[in-house]
Structure 1
């Protein structure tokens, strides 16, 4: 298992197993895609290695290899909080990284006995692993990404394939597979609504 660091793009999509689902996460300067700069994209095909792509200040976000990988309509993308990641990649990379599966959304559909749906809690309960979130609020726009930040970033995609397998079992058990898929299919539109200014508005509400 190794963490690979790349500047501005991946060398080739051939780094990843053909047709494998790709776990994806992002790090940014904050949580507002229209304001806060995309700094890092993390990737894993579930084979044991993680790839980190860093974008520096003034980047043009060209990244043709990364865009081809994430924009591939035949390759599933796995996220923990797809709504944010899809939105910020749309804002900076100009792509919609779908089709997708969101472990946080799946968790909310089947773990209705708790309101704790963070990645740390999910990995602990379903996989018995402890994640450190110490670097979550560190400066991802710094000139150097240190080893602790790299490990944190890599861990955010390391477990998504295993989580999907566990959550799929529960979705089937609770007869919510089709409902989950409908939610996943809607998430790119939800991300576009966020970018367009409707982040806090429920368009389906009566009032």
Structure 2
């Protein structure tokens, strides 16, 4: 029988609930937020369950969340999420820190036979045989009062998650794969994941590889200005300037309001509000500081490189056969290309993928291991 749902909108109720579940070894956690009209997510609801209790906590009604903070940052309690990153961003902005330790069912699911980045509803259906109600997916969670149906919808997210966690954890333990996820979960605790530095904002913009160096330098300045402006005014960055408009400005370098207004994709309100700042950026001379590396144009790979990728793919398949894991979960063709081009950041060389196949890929690329046939089977360096 599912636990009863408590709706908490007073400090006394919150204190009583946090005390009641404070000795739990783990809790399932979810949030509801809105960011359609803001840069930062607006924290609207917090759901917590431990298998026997479940609550929806209203942060719009309760200003002091120290009881929740103590619960979330108690390292004796594992915090279970599905696709944790957005929820953790909420907590980072609210508490200036990231809860730990973390268990993310979306990251764990591929290690017990599910597709990579499986959605919450699909995982609940596959594991529990329960169909998740999607009626309130588009709810405006800032509105009060919430209906009984909205509260039930929100609470069910953590009630199902609390039922999922022991099952997935048991499967991981049986397969001996819990330790594989340690690096991935620890990475989620890095506060740097939740800080958008204006100087790095250009990295989220596609199409920069087709710009000339001076145009690229201007795009970097424009992206940093837009990010700063969005943060300071708590507005979506695309409300300041859309990506396609930013690229057009970098290409054309308009030096007057009329020239700016004539560009494709430029909103007249944006010209009115931000035109002078944009033109000033266009006219700003290069200050001589080292520019970030410009993205490279995609080059056609040589036949030799394709052959190396084929060998890497064969190595991944070899390891996946041993561990009965779908190779697509471990490394796509693009992931293997990244291992060739940028090994320090390649996904297949990080976390559990590194232990499963990444270390062997690195050894193969460094000519410390050899793929060969033995007894009609593919082996690595004769060790298999």
Q: What is the TM-score normalised by the length of structure 1?
A: 0.83
CA distance in 1, matches of 2:71, 2:38: 21
Instruction: Render the CA deviation track for 1:103-134: whole Å, top value 9, x for unaligned.
Output: 1111134335x356111111111111111122
Q: Which has the higher strand share?
A: 1
CA 29–86 in structure 1, closer or farther in 2 if over 3 Å, else same = same
2:33 aligned partner: 28
* Offset, 1:173: 5.2
Is 1:117–2:118 an aligned residue pair?
A: yes
Matches within 5 A, 1:125-144: 125-144=126-145
CA contact (8 A) 2:6 2:54 kept: yes
Tell me: higher relative CO, structure 1 or 2? Use CA pairs within 8 A at least 6 residues apart: 1
CA 32–102 in structure 1, closer or farther in 2 if over 3 Å, else same = farther
Q: Which one of the candidate residues 51, 69, 77 is aligned to 1:46?
A: 51
CA contact (8 A) 2:88 2:98 kept: yes
CA 175–16 in structure 1, closer or farther in 2 if over 3 Å, else same = closer
CA 101–32 in structure 1, closer or farther in 2 if over 3 Å, else same = farther
2:186 aligned partner: 185
* Offset, 1:102: 0.7
Matches within 5 A, 1:142-153: 142-153=143-154
CA 195–133 in structure 1, closer or farther in 2 if over 3 Å, else same = farther
1:83 aligned partner: 85
CA distance in 1, matches of 2:37, 2:192: 13
CA distance in 1, matches of 2:174, 2:75: 28
Pairwise CA RMSD of aligned residues?
Answer: 2.9
In the alignment, structure 2 segments of 5+ residues that lack a partner are 205-337, 347-384
SS of 2:15's equivalent in the other structure is: coil
Is 1:205–2:345 an aligned residue pair?
A: yes
CA distance in 1, matches of 2:185, 2:105: 10
Question: Whose Rg is larger?
Answer: 2
